[in-house]
Structure 1
Amino acid sequence: MSNPSIIFIPGSYVLLPVYQPLFDAVSEAGYEIKGIHPPTVGLSSRQGRESPAPSMYDDAAVIAQAAEKLADQGKDVILMGHSYAGIPMSQSTKGLGKEERRAQGKPGGIVQLAFISCLVPAIGSSAASLLGRFPNEKRPLVSIDEDGWMLMEDPEATARMICQELPPKEGEAIVTGFAKHSAQSFGNQLTHAGYKDIPVSYLLCEEDLAGPPDFQREMIAMIAEASGRKVDVTSIKAGHCPNLTAKDETIEWVLNVVRKAEESRPTV
């Protein structure tokens, strides 16, 4: 049987090249990993798309399509994502879990959800409802254009929140490279909780200023209660973007997630 395949979904605003060193390291270790550019993320630095901003459900549909394609090839699939990605990942899994597909006589399927400091809401909640607990004045300024695309107006302030471990100019340059992101996607409510049926791994970032550790722990506890299953949690001393500031630890976590997925396969 082939190794599990990873589908990676970026955080809000973030373009895939930000994660390329992670992708390269995982590929060099012998595992298939493919990044998805979600519809809710613009196409280039500080830009949206030439259309009204789409929904979180559009992201979920793209993720589901990619997962189903691999599953139909008989592959075990790991959905892995960062920050906002936890929401469309959870939404996307309906009918695609490996156990669910096996019961239908279908090959392959999603075997693991792997969250990197992710937003993971309960049914009926959204990114906006989760983040609403944090005062707006403590969050960097965001503007919304006429097509519903959000822009981080102050890259320097954003960098101080999401990658504070980096030199200020380096962090600001990274955030300046971010695209726009769909505003409505933050308000779209979760209607399918994939984490109820599919095992979960969570990389908890203890120095995260955007989603503090206690906030992450509350979401992990919610997942465990909803699923009746223990969440596989790894804690590291890192801010919101560990792929940038704790590269070795993040790579090792990804590889451990894949290895554990391999080890949990039935022997017959």
Structure 2
Amino acid sequence: MSKPSILLVPGSFALPEFYEPVINAVAEKGYEIQGLHKPSVGPTSGKAREGVAPPTMYDDAAFIAGEVEKLANQGKDVILLAHSYGGVPVTQSTKGLSKKERQREGKEGGIVNLAYMTCLVPAVGQTAKDVLATVPQEQQLDLKIDENGWMYHDPVEASAALVFSDIPKEEGEAWIRKFPRHSSLSFIGEVTHAGYKDIPVSYLLCENDLCIPANVQRDGIDLVEKESGRKVDVTSIKADHCPMAAQPEVVIEWILNVAAKY
């Protein structure tokens, strides 16, 4: 039985290379795994995409769907692995791409699992901004928007304290300074398709997350279970919002455990 392919969808402000230690370790175990550079994320640290309007969540979802389709059309089973904001376009992206849907059409391959790592998981009609509004005010990130509609972190110190609370202050601030800019429009696109209704879900719940607190994560898990009628495969760890930075080995183990089931 061939191993599933894994597409890792980073969070907001996050480049695929931020996840390289995790990606490389999973690849060493024989899995095809790729990190995706979403349209809503700037090209490099500190930069926005020039000459284009800030992409929307729907642009991200269409991009993800295209990458899934490439693999599915090769007959491959796919795990969509999302982090943080990545959970929103991943949820939106799956229409017609689940393995079950494709089987009904006589096609091979397709999505077999949605793996959410401390993610925003909206209901139909909700936006990323809506879910973030449920976070206590003192834990909400202070994001500025430039004249072209791209968000950035300011002050860096405050963001680092919330996003990277498990690592030394200086390291967290260095991470934030590596962040590209992120499209403000991506946070206001309403989900119109809930992929978790039809596709099995795994969730890495990060108990120490200050950006998406554990209770907000649990609300997302409860939503999935209610809408799908299935239990979510939850793994709970003592980690902050970016466990790939502070505890990469735990993230690697979780991904391998999820993938081994397919």
TM-score by length of 1: 0.95
Distance in 1, matches of 2:26 and 2:220, equals: 27
Q: How far apart, in 2, do the equivalents of 1:117 and 1:251 lie?
A: 15
1:212 and 1:138 map into 2 onto residues whose CA distance is 9
Q: Is residue 36 from structure 1 mapped to residue 63 from structure 2 by the alignment?
A: no
Post-superposition Cα deviations, 1:53-107, rounded to whole Å, max 9, x if no partner, equal: 0100000001000001100000000000100000100100000000000000011
How many angstroms does 1:133 deviate by?
2.4
Give the Å deviation of 1:134. Answer: 3.0
The whole-number CA distance in structure 2 between the counterparts of 1:16 and 1:187 is: 23
> What's the counterpart of residue 226 of structure 1?
227
Q: 1:79 to 1:73 in 2, by over 3 A?
A: same
1:204 aligns with 2:205: yes
Q: Distance in 2 between matches of 1:153 and 1:198?
A: 38
* 1:253 paired residue number: 254
Counterpart of 1:179 in structure 2 is: 180
Given that 1:158 and 1:175 are in contact with CA atoms closer than 8 Å, whether structure 2 keeps it comes out as yes
Q: Which residue of structure 2 lines up, in the alignment, with residue 16 of structure 1?
A: 16
Within a 5 Å distance, the mapping from 1:91-240 to structure 2 comes to 91-136=92-137, 138-240=139-241
Give identity over the alignment, percent.
54
Verify the 8 A CA contact 2:9 2:35 in the aligned structure 1.
yes
| Structure 1 residue runs without a partner (length 5+) | 262-268
Aligned residue for 2:192, secondary structure, equals coil
Shift of 1:196: 0.2
Gaps of 5+ in 2: none
Shift of 1:165: 1.2
Aligned partner of 1:211: which letter?
A: I
- Backbone CA RMSD of aligned residues: 1.0
Count of residues in correspondence between the two structures: 261
Q: Secondary structure at the match of 1:230?
A: coil
SS in 2 for 1:151: strand
Q: Distance in 2 between matches of 1:185 and 1:55?
A: 4
Deviations 1:26-62 (A, max 9, x none): 0011111001100000011111111210100000001
Native 8 Å contact 2:132 2:140 kept in 1? no
Amino acid at match of 1:96: L
CA distance in 2: counterparts of 1:159 and 1:56, whole angstroms: 24
- Distance in 2 separating the partners of 1:240 and 1:63: 22
Name the residue aligned to 1:49. Answer: 49
Q: Compute the displacement of 1:135 (Å).
A: 4.9
2:186 aligned counterpart, secondary structure: helix
C-alpha displacement at 1:140, in angstroms?
Answer: 3.4
Of the structure 1 ranges 88-97 and 124-133, higher mean CA displacement relative to structure 2 is found in 124-133
Task: Give the conservation status (yes or no) of the 8 Å contact 1:140–1:154.
Answer: no
Shift of 1:141: 2.2
Q: Which secondary structure does the structure 2 equivalent of 1:218 belong to? A: helix
Given that residues 16 and 35 in structure 1 are in contact (C-alpha distance below 8 angstroms), is that contact kept between their aligned partners in structure 2? Answer: yes
- TM-score with structure 2 setting the length: 0.97
